[in-house]
Structure 1
């Protein structure tokens, strides 16, 4: 800022204190190009020579003082308007529009409505970029008011130096600036003029609970924390940690320790329980002994203890009665048991029954006795029988027996001789009631469909076993002028069908017409297909046009009127291949006509932009728009830290066939490939290299001219760190050989010659 240029003027002014307006002696002092007005601990400063944009003004204030002035109230405005000299371009203050909101930039707080001091009609943002604020000082009208201005205008910088320096409020509160002084807004938990006092909570003295506390601001004061624990076998009731709050209260009540409880035990069924309790019923240390009534045996632990984990030792025992051998159901039968003391144990009873169609032979019930044996003998199930069946007249009988001849489950199938059909059930089954399902079937001659004389013809039939039944024969004939088409006679077969096809009488026929290629034929026939009186209309499929007669008629002479028409494909404009691409077309109906499809593809390293194929439509136009071939892109490369990147681009930045060369600054060595090439896959041929600091320059000569043996000898004299660096460089050199070797793992010839390889090592 330079040295003092001397006292420019002396006077008096008003300053706002913490409780109102006080009268203070003021001195305006010039320091080089800077004029300062002091008011107690808070001072205002402005530049009396240079004019700045808003950003330059703020940089100026932040460099030499605290920031652009933040105006607190109207008394402060009056003071500034009285003390500062008039300047035609006025002064910048610390208000700016951020995110659409007028904001005090020093505190990042939005300007409140009650604190606004805008001039009449302001802010108006006439040029839509007036985002900074000036204050009118000693203006003839609206002096001390604010106006929004473009931030690139140049004005005086109005600065202030804060009084909150360097560490006020004991670093336990926020320092709030006031003119000539400041006040402390203490953080929660602190109080006092300088926030020097801390809130205290009551001292904790828990009983039967271990406690470990930390006190950052004094014993049992704000932010003191205490952690509580219990002995093995006991658990905490309440919070595990308490904290002293700003309200002088602890965050929770003091916890207690109680013995861990185990689940309440009960005596097993047909048994007894005897317990002793040390710290409470069924709690840590409780012991319980278990036993069974006479006639029952204990299965499991005889005693159990409640552990510190809240679980009982051993497993839950039970009392079991004496058992009998396990029973099973008889073949084709069922077993239904009721167990009083467990499966197949003393007093269990079992009832026997048979499946449907079977009868029980033996006792229906058995009981497990006190001796562990069952009463009675094992029963069994026998199948129920049905009457014997016989075959129907002109038929046969075929039976299958599951449980014995004509017994429950037996099935009998009925069939008839050739030419006869079964009337009635095709099979019968012996039921559980000892009766057969259905009634007795019979065999009847198979009937054929009733025949009728063809149009313009006659029918004459003879019947052997009934009208139009198996063995019947029928003869066909036609009226004068019609010819019989089909069998002259038909016979009813054993299958219920007639031999031959149904004949018909047809008028004189014309040659059969067919639709033109890619066209359709629609005919109406009076006496038969393509016979006298038939008319046919022609049309073409979509994409084809009819050339010739639209309709033809079969005459009495057996010929058609008119000539045979044809369908020709509609044509589309001829297509051509895109630049850097190829065109492959297939033509169904002629070159570039309806149905033609053309596929587009691009050369290696290029990708097709647009439709991959076009098709000639029935309207004579192609589907889709003309495609283009665009070079495939690789990821954009950045120069390595402490290095440079130089690229050449054939088809566009970082696209197919682009090559990039890497180099490092002096004192750094490249780790990785020197040159990368953008391949047709959209990937670079290698990973980008990095520039590592060459911490041992003399190793270059060792690495360039020494073999592995020399490295081993050098390892004797070098420290462990240098050996590790030397091994790292050798590894990098071998990696670089792989990159530059024409037979590298890229699968294609190497980029560099051996000379280039030696130069880059």
Structure 2
């Protein structure tokens, strides 16, 4: 994350996550902003100290030692004493490797001061976002950041808020000279250059080239063209001269006519100003106008001047009246004085004795950045003088190494100049930029070129190179190497596919991640190597595709094996059921690559037993744990009164779907089989089987016999007859029959007093049989226990 503080025309920025080396911090600032902060004054330091938060390792700023000089890296300018803000005792360059600078933000002591530190230490980056535009100050000045604004520091020759105005020099209007000008910034403005030439017969007075300087002045006065001058002519003795001067007295194109007094006649020729070409050679005509007399008068003998010659013609004798002597000089010398003298009628020579002086050449000066060493044979810068030229270190001579003053008053060769020795033209490294300052010409001696790299590239080699006096650059050519990121590897169970723009795993490399079948990518699908040497995002992982969590079916169990994580791709789950339950559906399921399970969810169904039927004349009481007649169901059986259970009293539904035990039945209780009495008959009705519960048997006797015992016997639930079977006895007492037939029990009691014991017993027996028969006919009456008859005599009598 980045936090910034607004400050009018630009922003200060700082990193609030992570610390960087100085190089990484600058790369960070150049990537997201302009550069590491360039602090320009005390007020700026105060503002930073107030606005930026405290950090224990402090902040890097844009100062670094380059070539032993503390330099603002953003502007490549050396740190001045006035701008220094070092803490006490700093910089101390401890261990000789402290080439970078930190600022103490909100430090308890010396807050806002600077300290030199090793560049590989890690600190926060303190950056600035420039307010200057990409092409500020009309590209005619340096954009200087200031708090709340910026200003343009214009290069020489320009002025104005944005350096938009150009210095103007006065318009040149030379007289008599041809002018040819070039105006890079407008007519007669800064760096305008004008060259001047003169017509034939005229020579220039002043510099040949003028340049408009930043001071609004021309580099020299405007030159003029003046006519080439010839020596002044005098009238001959006994004669006169009449001249016309179109360009000045005795100058180029002047014409003179000579005449003599009476008695004399002119000798010689008409003379005119020497052509420019002859003038430049310092030659004049060797004859003069003279007037010859009629008598020969002798004059002093003349001799040739030093470095000259004498040529005389004698009309009336050697050196006599009328003799004319012409003077000339050796090559390289010019006649100063009369070119000829004539012997007059008075015996004197016209004019003065001439002399030969060495022809002068223009004074030479040393070329800029060079030196001049001259030897003079016949006077300073005169014929025969030789001047040798040399240049300062770093400059090479262009032109002749020496010049000689010739007989024509000109120097051999052209004026040499000292040009800065050039180095091979440098080009920006691939993916980088080049910023050069040229003192003496493009890529020449003294030129300094600073190298920088585009975002995402780091400079390998020197940050700057200088053109030396030998025409070579210091150091080797640097390269811009893409910032490297850590090598990435494919995630476990995944694959990696990278494209590299500038080298393996470097700035601009993009890596796409994918996973094997059954695995899903968790994280970014691709990562890119940034200019900071870090990858975007975090490392992705391939996690097995998960299926919904399975649970054991009700009344069942689940047993899973997991290859790549719980319930994930490759997991297998086996299903089983508890005892008494059967699995319905897949016995096992597998998690597929699509995140779904094979098969359907199984279930455990309770094992069923066949439905039980209640036995006839019985009852069944069942309890069902898991459903009717299913595993765990228990049925208890019982029978109605008079019936006995045959088989299992209870049955349980087992895990195999079968019942324990056998099928029970209710069987009627059996009584002993009855036989017909002797002399009697037996008639039985059987409800539940022969001689079983509720069977009824009726006894009867043949005529003449009397039943002794109960007439009707009932098979009770106990398995016994209600009475003992009766017997048939021979009938011998009719009277007793009547009594027994019509007497109640009470009557028997009274009668018993008077009757004998045998009679009482007999009556009681008959009464008892009568009551028993009533009970048989009335099912609701208490049957009681069957009577036990032990006296066989009584039974037989009854």
Give the TM-score taking structure 2 as reference length.
0.33
Q: Pick the structure with greater CA Rg.
A: 2
Give the TM-score taking structure 1 as reference length.
0.34
